[in-house]
Structure 1
Amino acid sequence: MIFLFRIGFLEVSWVDIIDIALVSVLLYQVYKLIRGSIAVNIFLGILALYLVYLIVRAAQMELLATILGQFMGVGVLAMIILFQPEIRKFLLVIGRGTEFRENLFKSIAQWRNSYHEDVNVNEIMEAVKTLKATRTGALIVFSRDVELKFYVETGDVLDATVSKRLLLSIFNKNSPLHDGAVIIYKGKIKAARCVLPVSENDHLPPHFGLRHRSAIGMSENTATLVMVVSEETGRVILARNGIYLRGLKLKQIEQKIVEYLQNTEPANWEEISEEEPTTTEN
């Protein structure tokens, strides 16, 4: 075995470098699957609990250490149960060899440079004006970093350029594509009639229907920005990371979409440069 260099008593070889590189790519793929979802919070909670366990054991607090130790003893099983959706997605990606290789090479190629094609926000806002005026229900998902193939495949693939006329045609009440979500990625309408996960948050307003709950559920599970136009009132809400904003003006809606697409969102996502809308958190 050929050694490259030595760090103290450790001898680093080519095999070690390759091993570290492969593990890094694997961890990055796992991160992409759970990024923006509640799985990240669960993982941080488990990590915090483990750190508490180490502190308690070091302090020789026998009773508390024994109780926490029981949780640590079934840690692997608990991780499998808690992260079942993410593990399932990861295994599906591996099973689809072509998709896995595509994501792998894209990750390596885009490790240093990320490119996001601009979405025609003016066309979207013109469509939103008409949807509001006619009280036509709509559900639009904006994805900046991920193609969301899992959700695209639940609907009808379009891969069409974003335009006002196309959006109005899709959400027309007589259209076979209106029942579901439109997913927009890199300036394209990737698919329509997509099925989104429904939020299980019990604290949402009772008047929120399936469309609103799907928007919030999608924002909880992915790093996307989701917009809903209410069929009953014509009002628009935006959802991000399980938090939603309502009572927004058209200019504020446009501002939020542009900030998301350009990755210039404020640390406090609810912050609006103009007058503040009504906000509600998870």
Structure 2
Amino acid sequence: MIEGFISLRFLDILDILLVAFLMYQIFLVIKGSVAINIFVVIFSVYLFWQLVEALEMDLLSTILGQFMGVGLIALIIVFQQELRRFLLMIGTRDFFSRSFSVEQIFYKNRKSLSDKEVDEIVKSCVNMSATRTGALIVLTTRAEPGPVIESGDVINSKVSGRLIESIFFKNSPLHDGAIVIFNRKIVAARCVLPLSKTTDLPAHMGLRHRAAKGMTENYHSLVLTVSEETGSISIFEPTSHQYNINSQVLRSKLENWYGINEQKKEEASQTGNPLANVFRKF
């Protein structure tokens, strides 16, 4: 405890740091949306309420207290989408070290794509980019996005570059919408994705890119887009996006998403370690 004008304990410092961290995470969620204006107003009213209570202005304090009590319910209603995004972000952001991540603890048994299947996706994107065929490909590793899959047509087929290209062929009845790849299968096609309401997207990005962004905001997913106008390939992750990438960057992103690079490093280290080879036989 620090003695002086005020007593400050270690728990007080920890409390301040946790609140600051929480406020920063909330700011990241609502940044770029109209929700930040509402949040600033509510936060200002809360600070004013605390000031009134400190000055012992009982009448005004009671009125503001009643407002804040009802305001909590109103806050949940107004920030429904933002709260959903925040809760999803808790599971996707690296709050802890990688060894204790939610992905490894709860989703370890999900099947990862092989090198061949990654090549199939990369080749199909490159081919569709050359012919300026619009495409929207969703890749999930945790759980099937039920509402999104239900909005389309179930396929449950192996990952194939030819199949992906045929689905997005402009005369195909399945080309309008997205395909969902999960557990090493093309689960569904012609899926409708939730649109993002963010204002961060550049002006040159259209409805397909906004749908890709919206998907990553609502579900833990990686979304690939091929522009029908320019043929450029874009990739949307839960916390970022890249526009007009080449095949090398695309392959690297997919390998990182499915942990293929880490698997290769682990296999290489085991191969170079004689003791690991001995224990692997048992």
The TM-score normalised by the length of structure 1 is 0.61
Aligned mate of 2:236, from 213, 234, 239 = 239
Structure-1 residue corresponding to 2:197 = 200
Quickly say closer, same or farther: Cα 1:76–1:182, change in 2 above 3 A. same
Structure-2 residue corresponding to 1:187 = 184
> Which one is further off, 200-209 or 57-66?
57-66
Deviation at 1:241, TM superposition (A): 2.6
Structure-2 residue corresponding to 1:8 = none
Between the aligned partners of 1:216 and 1:254, the Cα distance in structure 2 is 20
Structure-1 residue corresponding to 2:108 = 114
Contact 1:121–1:254 (8 Å) recurs in 2: yes
Between the aligned partners of 2:61 and 2:225, the Cα distance in structure 1 is 47
Structure-1 residue corresponding to 2:125 = 128
Quickly say closer, same or farther: Cα 1:113–1:210, change in 2 above 3 A. closer
Q: Determine whether 1:217 maps to 2:214.
A: yes
**SS at 2:119's partner residue?**
helix
Between the aligned partners of 1:51 and 1:185, the Cα distance in structure 2 is 44
Runs (5+) with no aligned partner, structure 2: 1-27, 85-103, 263-282
Quickly say closer, same or farther: Cα 1:233–1:73, change in 2 above 3 A. same
**SS at 2:127's partner residue?**
helix
Deviation at 1:59, TM superposition (A): 5.3
Matches within 5 A, 1:1-282: 67=64, 70-83=67-80, 114-119=108-113, 120-241=117-238, 243-262=240-259
Quickly say closer, same or farther: Cα 1:163–1:73, change in 2 above 3 A. same
Between the aligned partners of 2:109 and 2:51, the Cα distance in structure 1 is 46
Quickly say closer, same or farther: Cα 1:218–1:122, change in 2 above 3 A. same
Quickly say closer, same or farther: Cα 1:113–1:66, change in 2 above 3 A. same
> Which one is further off, 49-58 or 190-199?
49-58
Between the aligned partners of 1:128 and 1:116, the Cα distance in structure 2 is 24
Contact 1:136–1:234 (8 Å) recurs in 2: yes
Between the aligned partners of 1:179 and 1:187, the Cα distance in structure 2 is 22
Q: Percent identity?
A: 35
How many residues are aligned here? 203
Structure holding more strand per residue? 1
2:186 maps to a residue whose letter is: I
Q: Considering only CA atoms, is the larger Rg found in Structure 1 or Structure 2?
A: 2
2:110 maps to a residue whose letter is: H
For the aligned residues, what is the CA RMSD? 3.7
Between the aligned partners of 1:217 and 1:60, the Cα distance in structure 2 is 46
Quickly say closer, same or farther: Cα 1:67–1:54, change in 2 above 3 A. closer
Runs (5+) with no aligned partner, structure 1: 1-36, 88-109, 266-282
Contact 2:226–2:234 (8 Å) recurs in 1: yes
Between the aligned partners of 1:232 and 1:56, the Cα distance in structure 2 is 56
Deviation at 1:201, TM superposition (A): 2.1
1:227 maps to a residue whose letter is: L
Cα shift readout 1:178-211 (whole Å, capped 9, x = no counterpart): 0100111111111000001112223422232211
Between the aligned partners of 1:207 and 1:65, the Cα distance in structure 2 is 51
The TM-score normalised by the length of structure 2 is 0.61
Deviation at 1:130, TM superposition (A): 0.7
1:206 maps to a residue whose letter is: A
Between the aligned partners of 2:181 and 2:196, the Cα distance in structure 1 is 21
Structure holding more helix per residue? 2
Between the aligned partners of 2:215 and 2:69, the Cα distance in structure 1 is 31
**SS at 2:198's partner residue?**
coil
Between the aligned partners of 1:264 and 1:233, the Cα distance in structure 2 is 31
